[in-house]
Amino acid sequence: MADATFHKSGWIRAGIPRTGGWRIATIVLAVVLGLFGIALLLGGIWLIALGGSWYYALAGAGLCITAWLLARQRRAALPFYVIVWLLTVVWAFWEVGTDWWAQVPRLVAPTVVLVLILLVLPALGRARNR
C-alpha cells in the first residue's frame, strides 16, 4: 500500500493527503495525551506528597510514555496503553466497585483514549512499514 502511493499517480492524490491527515491526527493525539499525562503526573506527585493515591502519577507516566510512542509513530503505543487501561480498570473497581456514577471519572476518559488510539492505529502501521 505504502509503495503504491508513490508509484501510481492515482494513489498519490488520494493517498498522500490521507496519510498526512492521519499523521497529523496522530501527532495531535500525542500532544494532547502528553499534556494530560504531564498534568496527571505532576498533580499525581503532589497528591502522593500529600499522602494520597499513587494511581494518578502512575497513570500520568503511562500516558506520557504512550504519547511519546505515538509521536514516534510506534505501533507499540497500542499494547502499552492497553496495559495502562487494564490496570486502570482493575484500580477503578478496587476503589469503587460497581458504583457506576463514581466510575465516570475513572473509566470514561481512559476508554475514550483507548478508542482514539485504535482509530489512529492504521497510520501507525504504515509508518512502521516505511
Partner 1 sequence: MNSMILRAGLAALLASTALPIWAQETAAPPAGDQAQIPSALPEAEDAEAAPPQQAPQIQPAQPTAEPEPQPDAAAPGEPAPDDLPAPEGAGQAEAPVPAPAERPAQAQAQVGSDWPFWGGNADATRYSPLSQITPENVDQLERAFVYRTGDMPMGDAEGKYAAETTPLKIGNQLVMCSAKNILISIDAATGEENWRYDPQVSNDAIPYSASCRGVSVYTAPDVPDGALCKSRVIEATIDARLIAVDLTTGDLCSDFGENGQIDLWQGIGEKVPGWYAVTAPPAIVRGVVITGAQVKDGQAEDAPSGVIRGYDAVTGEFVWAWDLGNPGEYGQPAEGETYTRGTPNMWTTAVADEELGYVYLPMGNSSVDYYGSNRSEHENQWATSLVALNALTGEPVWSFQTVRRDVWDYDLGSQPSLLDFEGTPAILLPSKQGDIYILDRTTGEPLVPVGEIEAPTKGSVEPDFLAKSQPISEWHTLRKDDLTERDMWGFTPIDQLWCRIQFRRASYEGFFTPPSADRPWIQYPGYNGGSDWGSVAVDTDRNILIANYNDVPNYNKLIPREKADEMGLRPINEKSPGESSGNNAEGAGDPQAGSPYAIDVNAGWRNTGTGVPCTRPPYGGIRAIDMTTGETIWDTPIGTARRNGPFGIPSYLPMKIGTPNNGGAVITASGLIFIGAATDNLFRAIDVETGETVWSDVLPAGAQANPIAYEVDGRDYVLIAATGHHFMETPIGDYIIAYRLPE
Contact 29, 117 (CB under 8 A): yes
Contact status: 56 vs partner 1 (CB under 8 A):
yes
C-alpha triplet 97, 39, 112: angle, nearest 5°: 50
Site for partner 1 in 73-112 (CB under 8 A): 95-96, 99, 101-102, 104-106, 108-110
Contact status: 24 vs partner 1 (CB under 8 A):
no
Torsion (CA) 60, 62, 67, 70 in degrees, nearest 10: -170
Contact 107, 88 (CB under 8 A): yes
Q: How far is the CB of 27 from partner 1 (least distance, A)?
A: 21
Residues in contact with partner 1 by CB under 8 A are 36, 39-40, 43-44, 46-47, 50-53, 56, 59, 95-96, 99, 101-102, 104-106, 108-110
